[in-house]
Amino acid sequence: MSFMTMLTKKFSLPAKEEALPGRADAIRPVETHFVNGNPLTGPYPDGLETVLFGMGCFWGAERLFWQLPGVHVTAVGYAGGHTPNPTYHETCTGRTGHTEAVLVVYDPVIVSLTDLLKVFWENHDPTQGMRQGNDTGTQYRSAVYVKSAEDLALAETSRKTYQEALKAGGVNASITTEIRQLEEFFFAEDYHQQYLAKNPAGYCGIGGTGVSCPTGLDQEA
């Protein structure tokens, strides 16, 4: 495979045997959260839960979540692929299988997964497949990765509910969001963490469909 081919953004996920080999050593952020000062890496305080969201470029997506009451810490990284401990540049080749993801560590007493899913659905277009706006490639696909079967059922119900809301709102495209149980998350490089707090004029590709997400997503459909 030529170097130029390796750098081409792909619109289909690589098979495990096609993925880049990665490395044994993980990227470990050395700084605390730039906004709230909490450690980015675990173990986190007892009683907190985690979820991963992919919704395009992770810079703008992360800012949405760190502003929410009840969110203990956020971090950006890579999830849903094959390559162990990928770098940003490797992920951008499309040959790791990962999407850019935001780790949200939250207190479910203050903010529920339902609340977080509402922010997720309303602030990107989950119907675009391997892209988000002008950002194209597998690393920009929409995704929700949860830790438990209970959270998985809630996320899948929320997808069905929001699909119905899109149809009612005149959006006839199907949701392409990948939803599955997944605990593996690879932290991105320090310069990506809380990027828009460090660079207020930086690029933010966040934009939704304009369709509100119904409340009560934790109810059975």
| Residue 68 and residue 61 in contact, taking contact as beta carbons nearer than 8 Å | no
- Identify the residue with better confidence: 214 or 123: 123
Q: Is the pLDDT of residue 199 over 60?
A: yes
Instruction: Give me the residue spans of the domains in the chain.
Output: 29-36+44-198
* Residue 156 buriedness (CB in 10 A; 0-12 / 13-18 / 19+): middle
Q: Is the pLDDT of residue 192 over 80?
A: yes
Q: Is the pLDDT of residue 24 over 90?
A: yes
Whose tokens are 């990227």? That residue is: 27
| Tokens found for residue 117 | 């899913």
| Residue 136 and residue 11 in contact, taking contact as beta carbons nearer than 8 Å | yes
Q: What is the average pLDDT score of the chain?
A: 93
What is the C-alpha to C-alpha distance for residues 79 and 55, in angstroms, rounded to an integer? 12
Please state the rounded mean pLDDT for residues 129-148.
97
Sign of CA dihedral 191, 194, 200, 203: positive
The set of catalytic residues is 57
Q: From residue 181, how far is each of 30, 32, 118, 126 by CA, in Å?
A: 28, 27, 19, 18
- Identify the residue with better confidence: 42 or 91: 91
Q: Is the pLDDT of residue 220 over 80?
A: no
Q: Which of 73, 95, 71, 122 is nearest to 22 (CA)?
A: 95
Q: How many residues does the chain have?
A: 221
| Tokens found for residue 98 | 């990962």
Q: What is the pLDDT of residues 54-77, one digit of tens each?
A: 999 999 999 999 999 999 999 999
- 131-132/135-136 β-pairing: antiparallel
**What whole-number percentage of the chain has pLDDT above 90?**
90
Please state the rounded mean pLDDT for residues 88-103.
97
pLDDT band per the 50, 70, 90 thresholds, residue 214: confident
| Tokens found for residue 28 | 């470990």
Q: What amino acid occupies position 201?
A: A
The helix (run of H) or strand (run of E) holding residue 119 is: helix 113-122
CATH code at 29-36+44-198: 3.30.1060.10
